[in-house]
A = this chain, B = another copy of it.
């Protein structure tokens, strides 16, 4: 079934030890949509400016991504510049130009109203809530957020979390949100805020999913998908959004919604994140095959599989 992502489309200027690129197509919704497109039909709600050309739109359409929800506004598209020269695990932001994104007020096209799977990428929490409230028939809602909103819009974020089925954030964000340094205890606190499940991304160590007691199955045992150590990380930008795209895209492609599906989805998330970082921007995500994806899924599975 189709999945809708609401989030940013951006032009990024990125420097890493492997090189430097300027104004390449990026943004959370872009990475998510490309990653999810290998699993299911994807719809996008975002805003772009005059500098977003038909060639840029073609990147989406080449993957059968429905772009009718991409609004064109006067001005420039959101631009971000950052570098990973000291540390590949953390971006140092050089500049942020919100441009048309500053007044982004996501509107869901009528054609999208039957969407069953929704992903709220990292945008202002009240906008996330507003989108969710426009989508009555949604079966599962995933969401991302960041330190900026956890610190600066906590009350609004707590309202959003009541409407979210699965929250996908990293270790530091879980601990900050819960004000608790121990990860399993922090996870319990976050689950008490609303989500049925919490996916904690550990970067090169993979990801863990924590379940509310009884959600999607029996018990509350966490599950971990280990990632493969990557020899050549060219550009970490978009790894988290690509993870979310693989995770949510796989779920949306399945008939059932249970723990086994969520566990496999966690592996597919890691797989898509690991591909994303192999080239600058969305380059690697644009030219994958489902066979390559499933081959890496098997490698990841065997990475921790005992006979």
Contacts and interface: CB of A to CB of B under 8 A. Distances in A.
Contacts of A181: 88
Interface stretch (A61-69, A135-143, A228-236): A228-236
A302 B304 CA distance: 10
Interface stretch (A106-114, A121-129, A150-158, A200-208): A200-208
Interface in A52-87: none
Given A182-B231, A183-B204, A233-B182, A264 B226 contact: no
A301 B307 CA distance: 10
Nearest to A181: B88
A264 B306 CA distance: 7
Contacts of A149: none
The oligomer's copy count stands at 2
Contact of A306 (B231, B263, B307): B263
B267 A224 contact: no
Nearest to A205: B205
B224 A226 contact: yes
Given A184-B231, A204-B183, A233-B182, A223 B260 contact: no
Contacts of A263: 306
A178 interface: no
Interface in A279-304: 299, 301-304
Interface of A: 88, 181-185, 187, 202, 204-206, 208, 221-226, 228-233, 260, 263-264, 267, 299, 301-307
Given A206-B226, A301-B306, 14 more contacts: A88-B181, A182-B233, A184-B229, A205-B205, A205-B206, A221-B303, A222-B228, A222-B229, A222-B303, A223-B303, A224-B304, A225-B304, A260-B306, A264-B306
